[in-house]
Amino acid sequence: MSLTAVLSNASSGLVAAQAGLRTASDNIANVNTPGYVRKAIDQEHRVIGGVGSGTEVSGVRRIVDQFLVSAGLTASSSASRWDMIASNLDNAQSLFGDPTSDTGYFAALDKVWTTFESTAQNPTSGVLRSQSVAAVKTFFDQTARINQELKRMASAADAQATATASDINDLLAQIAKLNTDISRASVGSGDSTGAENVQSGLIDKLATLMDIQVQPRSAGGVTIRSAEGFELVGDGAATVAYRSTDSTPGYLAIQYPVGPEQPLTVTGGQLRGLMDLRDIHLPGLSEQLGEFAARAAERLNAAHNASTSSPARSVLEGRDTGLDLPTAVSGFTGQTTLAITNASGVVQRTVQIDFSAGTLSVDGGPTTGFTPANFLTSLNTALGAFGTASFTNRALTLSATAPNGVAIDEGTSQKAGRAFSHYFGLNDLVRSSGQTIYETGLKTTDPHGFTAGETISFRLSQADGKPIRDVTVAVPAGTTMQDLLTALNANTTGVGLVGAFSLDAQGQLSFAPSTTPPVSISVSQDQTSRGAGGPSISSLFGLGVIERNSRANRLSVDAKIESDPNKLALSKLNLAAATGTPAISPGNGQGASALAAAGELKTSFDAVGNLSALNVSLIDYAAQFGAAIGSRASSAETERLTTEAVSKEVSTRRQSVEGVNIDEELVRLTTYQQAFNASARMIQAAKELFDVLTNII
């Protein structure tokens, strides 16, 4: 070997040792720097003309384990998702208060039963009447307050999801820019580890916002894709946007410089947590609350309609049934009796209505027939000079001629699970500003009442909110409910390919998916109306998120009863009272007893949130509802703790690979120092040989 070759070998070793010293020194200097990944030099033999000529540094690389990196990003994404859900559900649970305390939400309903029980013992007490009305008002006021807060939380989650999408775009742009810097450094055999560390930190942050897949690029940098493979970062960065409306699930979409926008599947990260909160968890709680409150109102109204105040009220104003009178009357069975009483409670006239037979009888006299079409006229004829019946804006009103009052014995009358007065809401204790119970009593042969050509639009979505397609259904020319069902379930112009709408025995319209996994359906727009100013299809049948989640805010104590608790129906009409004796007595507390016992009667509850359809008492449902709220929050907290533990474990293992160990770096520092000294000694030796040869010459 020539002395020139010796010098070349020694100088290459000197350069390599210097590079090694620099990397070891950088590692030691950054031992406590967050996000720093230790680095090392790559050396290889240098061959010139087929002859070994020392060593050269082919590059500086970060010490990473790609499996742990990938696992860490996945774990971080899951942990971030459940942390967001758990913290918000814990806040939502706190709105209901401690179920075991006397001040929580469910305790407010218990107070309703206990106050009516006390009132039943002394129905003439003005103080007890006022306390009973106040207890009912407090319960429904709390219901509205909680629901409003749940809506506010959902709106906040929606706004935060929009902001998160903006943060994602910022991170994608920064990561793409660093790709360029890293590639440039790699081509020039420079040290790109600093830029790679910064990029790694940005990727870790991105993974907390959404789930991603990361692959190294051969030219340096990374390619980032969504869970289903859409490229988010490559040579450049894509743009993502969060899309949502009040009535449809939110989703993330991706936009490239060329081509249409595409929806993305997001399965993890803070964004997924926010979307789950907005579209699943918080609406589920709100829907459960609405179902619970609506059924509580139903039970109170059923008892109140079956009772009467003393003296009887002069006017009984019904609720908006959403139907025309012939359709509303059609389908009733059994009997009910209307009574006109004077101020002392003595009956002046009775009208017995036999819906099964289609007849009316005045004061027990001969019967006359009626049809749903002429029911109002027949009823007014039967009332004669003692009262009137009217039907305006889909609501029935009964009025007694002054100074008399109207009282009702519900008898055996029945339609869609409600008696006559209850169905029409003639003596409701709890009023609603819209539809809250969706058992309409309609049959497939009944007229649907909507105008042909009016449209309702549905969005079909995957379980995670990713839209499949929108479907707009026009009200058919056919006039029956069966015609409407056929139009809704059509394969080409309806939802027939993914499920079917059906009408149950109580007249409730519902959708059942037929695909696996099931497709979710939401109402994106409804331009239908049942008659002038009447409810839409979604409003009448409770279709869509907005409709069902608004129920809890629609319920309140009847304004006239709230201002005058003497109008509380605490007595019962006694049709067996002797002629000329009061059929209504102020001291009769049977109505109050019925109101107190309303919570113990079995009620059919729809499947809502994470509760299945149940037929239990309000008291039992309250217990299950409270348990479901706690279970939902507890499950989310368990998921949070589990995913957080996994994330921490993976992070620890990554740190053991990527982190700087001072002892190891000192050993490397010593090794490179010795290598540097050895190379320097070779150069010195070559110099001495050159000197000897020069002197000889």
> What does the DSSP assignment read for 219-246?
TSSEEEE-TT--EEESSSB-EEEEEEET
Same domain, 186 and 233: yes
What is residue 323's predicted lDDT score, i.e. its pLDDT?
96
Average pLDDT of the segment spanning 411-426: 97
> In this structure, are 338 and 380 located in the same domain?
yes
Q: Which of 379, 406, 424 is the last residue of a domain?
A: 424
Q: Is residue 612 part of a domain?
A: no
Mean pLDDT to the nearest integer, 459-478:
94
| Residue 644 maps to a domain | no
Does the pLDDT value for residue 608 go beyond 70?
Answer: yes
User: What is the per-residue pLDDT for 49?
Assistant: 67
Q: Is 108 contained in some domain?
A: no
pLDDT score at 292: 96
Q: What is the pLDDT of residue 24?
A: 83
Find out whether 527 and 456 touch, Cβ atoms under 8 Å: yes
- CA separation for the pair 507, 564 (Å, rounded): 35
Q: What is the pLDDT of residues 358-402, one digit of tens each?
A: 999 999 999 999 999 999 999 999 999 999 999 999 999 999 999
pLDDT score for 172 = 96
Residues 202 and 344 in one domain: no
- Average pLDDT score over residue span 431-444: 94
Span 222-234, average pLDDT = 94
What pLDDT, on a 0 to 100 scale, did the predictor assign at position 463? 87
Has residue 1 got a pLDDT over 60? no
User: Higher-confidence residue: 471 or 103?
Assistant: 471
Q: pTM for this one?
A: 0.90
**pLDDT of 128:** 96
Distance CA 186, CA 174 (A): 18
- On the question of pLDDT at 13 being above 80, the answer is no
Between CA 549 and CA 547 the distance in angstroms is: 6
Closest by CA position to 165, among listed 89, 86, 275:
275
pLDDT tier, 660 (very low <50, low <70, confident <90, very high otherwise): confident
Q: In which domain, by residue range, is 34 found?
A: 3-63+660-696
Query: What does the alpha-carbon distance between residue 254 and residue 680 come to, in Å, rounded to a whole number?
Result: 58
362 assigned to some structural domain: yes
Name residue 179's amino acid. N
Identify the weakest region by mean pLDDT among 53-67, 68-82, 154-168, 480-494: 53-67
- Res 266: pLDDT: 95
Buried-exposed string 300-316: b where 16+ CB fall within 10 A, e elsewhere: bbbbbbbbbbbbbbbeb
Q: Both 367 and 508 in a single domain?
A: no
- For residue 586, being part of any structural domain is answered with no
If asked whether residues 266 and 404 sit together in one domain, one would say no
User: Do 574 and 474 meet the contact criterion of CB atoms below 8 Å apart?
Assistant: no
3-state helix, strand, coil in the chain (%, to 5): 45, 20, 30
Q: Kindly indicate the confidence band of residue 184, based on its pLDDT and cuts at 50, 70 and 90.
A: confident
Verify that 197 and 80 share a domain, yes or no: yes
Instruction: Check whether residue 161 and residue 255 sit in a common domain.
Output: yes
Asked if 338 and 406 count as a contact pair (C-beta separation under 8 A), the reply is: yes
**pLDDT for the residue numbered 50:** 66
Q: Which residues pair with 500 in a beta bridge?
A: 512
How far apart (Å, rounded) are the C-alpha atoms in residues 360 and 374?
Answer: 12
Please, which pLDDT band fits residue 602 given cuts at 50, 70 and 90? Answer: very high
- Residue-wise pLDDT for 527-580, tens only, equals 999 999 999 999 999 999 889 999 999 999 999 999 999 999 999 999 999 999
Q: In angstroms, how far is the first alpha carbon of the chain from the final one?
A: 20
Would residue 15 count as lying in a domain? yes
pLDDT digits (tens, 9 = 90+) for 87-124: 999 999 999 998 888 889 999 999 999 999 999 999 99
Average pLDDT over residues 584-592: 94
3-state secondary structure 304-362: HHCCECCCCCCEEECCCCCCCHHHHHCCCECEEEEEEECCCCEEEEEEEEECCCCEEEE
Query: What's the token pair of residue 335?
Result: 């009997």
Lowest mean pLDDT, pick from 53-67, 557-571, 639-653:
53-67
Decide: helix, strand or coil at residue 595.
helix
Question: What's the CA gap between 593 and 602, in Å, rounded?
Answer: 16
Q: Is residue 30 part of a domain?
A: yes
Mean pLDDT for all residues in the chain? 92
Provide φ and ψ at 387, rounded to 5°.
180, 180
- Tell me the C-alpha distance between 588 and 601, whole Å: 21
More confident residue, 658 or 200: 200
pLDDT at 522: 95
Tens-digit pLDDT profile for residues 569-586: 999 999 999 999 999 999
Last residue in a domain, options 508, 541, 574: 541
Number of folded domains that form the chain: 4
Q: What average pLDDT score do residues 329-336 get?
A: 97
Are 82 and 53 in the same domain? no
For the ranges 28-42, 352-366, 495-509, the lowest mean pLDDT is seen at 28-42
Q: What are 30-59's pLDDT values in tens digits?
A: 888 888 888 888 787 777 766 667 787 777
- Based on the fold, state whether residues 185 and 265 are members of the same structural domain: yes
Find tokens 């009132």 and name the residue.
119
384 and 502 in a single domain? The answer is no
Indicate the burial class of 612 (C-beta count within 10 angstroms; 0-12, 13-18, 19 or more): exposed
Q: Is 372 helix (H, G, I), strand (E, B) or coil?
A: helix
**What is the per-residue pLDDT for 51?**
66
Residue at a domain's end among 260, 282, 304: 282
The predicted structure's pLDDT at residue 666: 84
Task: Tally Cβ neighbours within 10 Å of residue 324.
Answer: 18
From CA 175, how far away is CA 160, in angstroms rounded?
22
H helical segments located in 122-234: 126-187, 193-209
Position 560 in a domain? no
Average pLDDT value for residue range 461-469: 91
Same domain, 204 and 77: yes
Looking at the structure, do residues 402 and 274 belong to the same domain, yes or no?
A: no
pLDDT at 224: 96
Q: What is the DSSP string of 468-487?
A: EEEEEEEPPS--BHHHHHHH
Reported confidence tier of residue 285, pLDDT bands at 50, 70, 90: very high
Cα 376 from Cα 327, distance rounded (Å): 12
